[in-house]
Every structure is written in C-alpha cells, then in structure tokens.
Amino acid sequence: EDQVTQSPEALRLQEGESSSLNCSYTVSGLRGLFWYRQDPGKGPEFLFTLYSAGEEKEKERLKATLTKKESFLHITAPKPEDSATYLCAVQMGAQKLVFGQGTRLTINP
Amino acid sequence: DSGVTQTPKHLITATGQRVTLRCSPRSGDLSVYWYQQSLDQGLQFLIQYYNGEERAKGNILERFSAQQFPDLHSELNLSSLELGDSALYFCASSVASLADTQYFGPGTRLTVL
C-alpha cells in the first residue's frame, strides 16, 4: 500500500536553531512530491514541488531535497513565524495526493 | 491568498441534514479536488473533477457527492450527516491534472451536532 510517513510528529526549536524534517514514502511511480505549510484552521499553503531524485528547491529559510525514498525539509535559522504544521504529499499514477500526518513545528523566541 | 475561494467558512448543522459546500478554483485552473481533514485522519482525498468530468475518486462516502459546473466552480454535497462528518473540508485546484501543484482554499469547517 502506498504510504507517506513524516517524522518527527512534533519538533520544538529555539529561534535560530536549524533542523530538518523528514518525509519517507513507499510508492510506485512517483510523479511528484509536494511540501505544504499549514497554520491552525487554515488551508495548506504550497511551498515546493520536487519531481526527481537529487532535486533541491529553496525559499527563504527553507530548503527541500529529494532522494528515491525520502525528502527532507531543512529549516535554517528559524524564526517564531515559521511555527506551523509542515505537510508532505506524494502524487503517484493517479491524480490524487497522499498526505503524511505532518510535523508540528514550534519555534520559541 | 491562493486564489481558491470556498463558502461558507463555517457550517453548523444537525445529524441527518444535508449541506452543500462551494468552491471556486483559481482563474485558469481546470481541476478541482476535495479533501477532508479530521484530527485523527489527517488530509484525505475525496474526489477530483477535471473540466466538468469526474477524474478520480478517493475515500468518499456514498452519502457524499460532488459536481463541477460549466463555469468550473464545484460543489460538494453531504447528506444524512453524522457526528463523524464533522471536519474541515478543503477544495484545491490545479491547472491540469498529473503532477500539477494543487493550491488549497481556506476550507469550510463543518460541525454536526
């Protein structure tokens, strides 16, 4: 069965303390891997799309990387406003996205 | 702002009732997707429409149905509501279909009492 697993479930960092979030997947025929940020009660906000192993994308303090079996979202020198739930999703042969359960990130000032 | 709009923002209703959620996709997007998000299940894909036609189905209950109209807006109809249907319902849209980035709306929070 196609599966997406995110770790850790929750992460608490101090402002400026860099770290990485993991998204591992067991799917066949990966067409794309997507990262979203979601604030409580809001819709997921698109961050990155990765299509092939070795690909990297950057945006401000965030950098997403992709291998054949997992993706990492690296956050460098985070600020309190980076606190949110980060969702990973994969798209296989069908059009639907399969989401992981998310990593709840808290940045303390 | 993703450009995807959803109405209403909040909906409170009773068990056994029927409700309709509405979604307008981003300008130029042909695909509309519906997702359900509950605390214990995370984001679950329900159904996709592309240019008016159903394209893919996920874990959508028989009590739920959807359609996409000629102007590309979509409606999700939920009937015979149960307490367990209480959740956030999101609509997303994309330009086409395969491997396209999906942009999400702000969601409709449904509470069934």
Sign of CA dihedral B33, B37, B43, B46: negative
Residue A26: CB atoms within 10 Å: 11
Give CA–CA dist A90/A85, Å, rounded. 17
Nearest residue of chain A to residue B46 (CA atoms): A96
Confidence of residue B3 (pLDDT cuts 50, 70, 90): very high
Confidence of residue A30 (pLDDT cuts 50, 70, 90): confident
Region B83-106 average pLDDT: 90
Kindly tell me if the per-residue pLDDT of A94 is higher than 80: no
Confidence of residue A26 (pLDDT cuts 50, 70, 90): confident
Per-residue b or e along B61-95, where b marks 16 or more CB atoms closer than 10 Å to that residue's CB: eeebebebeeebebbbebeebeeebbbbbbbbbbe
Instruction: For B28, list phi and psi in degrees, rounded to 5.
Output: 95, -15
Taking phi over 0 as left and psi of -120 to 50 as alpha, with beta for the rest, B30 belongs to alpha
Token pair 């402002």 is found at A15
- Chain A, residues 13-42, CB within 8 A of chain B, namely 31-32, 34, 36, 41-42
Give CA–CA dist A83/A64, Å, rounded. 17
pLDDT digits (tens, 9 = 90+) for B15-28: 999 999 999 999 99
CA B103 to chain centre: 13
Confidence of residue A93 (pLDDT cuts 50, 70, 90): low
Query: How many residues appear in chain A?
Result: 109
Residue of B77, B90, B73, B69 lying closest to B24 (CA atoms): B73
B99 with A51: Cβ contact below 8 A: yes
* A87 close contact with B: CB closer than 8 A: yes
CB contacts < 8 A (A, B): 60
Region B33-48 average pLDDT: 90
pLDDT digits (tens, 9 = 90+) for B47-61: 999 999 998 898 899
Give CA–CA dist B59/A53, Å, rounded. 29
